Structure 1
Amino acid sequence: MKKVLTIAAAIVLLLQFLPITAEEQRSPLTAKEFLSKDLDSVFPLIRDLKKKEADVLISQIREEARKNWSQADQFYFLVNHLSTISAIEEEQSRLKGLIWVYILGLALFGGFVGYVLYRQRKLVQELNELLKNR
C-alpha cells in the first residue's frame, strides 16, 4: 500500500512539470500570419498574448512593414508615443476623481472626529455638573 502511494505521488509530481496545457503547446503567432488574418479573428489572439510574445510580434511586424515602407519606424514610434500620451491623460483624469473621493472621505472622517470630541466634551461637562451637585 505504501509503495502504491509513493508511486502515485511521484506520478502526480511528474505530471505537474510536464507542459500539457494547450497554451504552452501552441506555437507563437508570426508577423506574416498575424497580418494575413482577418481583423476580427486577431483580437482574441492579441488578448491572450504575454508581454514577451507581444514584444516579439511587434518587432516582427515592424520588420515586415520596413520592407514595404521605409518610414514605418517613425510611424510606429509616433503612434506609440501618442497612445502613451492618451493613456497618461486617462490615468490623470482617474486620479483626479480619486482625489475627490479621498477629500470627501477625509471631510467625513474629520466631521465624525469633531462630533465625537464635541460629545465627549459635553459629557465631561455634565459629569462635572453631577459631581458638583453631590
Structure 2
Amino acid sequence: MEKCLRKNPTILSKDKYFEKYSEFGTVKELGIDWNLYDIKNLQDCLKKIVGISDYKRILIKKSHDKIGRDILKVQCHQNFRMAILNEVPQQILKARKEVPTVLEEIPLTRFLPEKKKKSLAHLMAQQFNTTWKNDENLA
C-alpha cells in the first residue's frame, strides 16, 4: 500500500483515497459506515485498568434484566477474535455503577480559527499556485 501511495504522492479527492485503499482491503467511511461517540463521560463508571493497552478488545454487551431494563456489561479481552478457554475477561465496570445506554455522537464538522484558515490557504497556494480556489478537485 505504501508503494502505491508513493507512486501517487498528491491525491486531490476523497474518492481517489477510497479507490486506492480499496485495492488493499475494505474501506469504511466515517459518518456512513461508522460513527464517533464521546466516551469521556464513561470514566465515571469504568475502572482504571493497569496495562489496559495490552488488551486487544473491549466488549460491550447489552442485555435486559427480568424487569426489562437495559444492562450493559463491559469486559476487556486479551485476544482479538477468539476466546481462549482459560482466559478470564477483566470486568472494567465499577461496583454499583451503570454505563450510560446512550452516548453522544461527535459531530464530523468543526470550526476552524481564522489563523488556521490563513495558514492553510498559504500552504495550498504554495502547493497548487494561487488559483487553487478555482479548481473543482480542491473544493
TM-score bucket of the superposed structures, by smaller chain: under 0.3
Which structure has more helix as a fraction of its residues?
A: 1
Structure 2 length-normalised TM = 0.24
Larger radius of gyration: 1
Greater percentage in strand: 2
- Tell me: higher relative CO, structure 1 or 2? Use CA pairs within 8 A at least 6 residues apart: 2
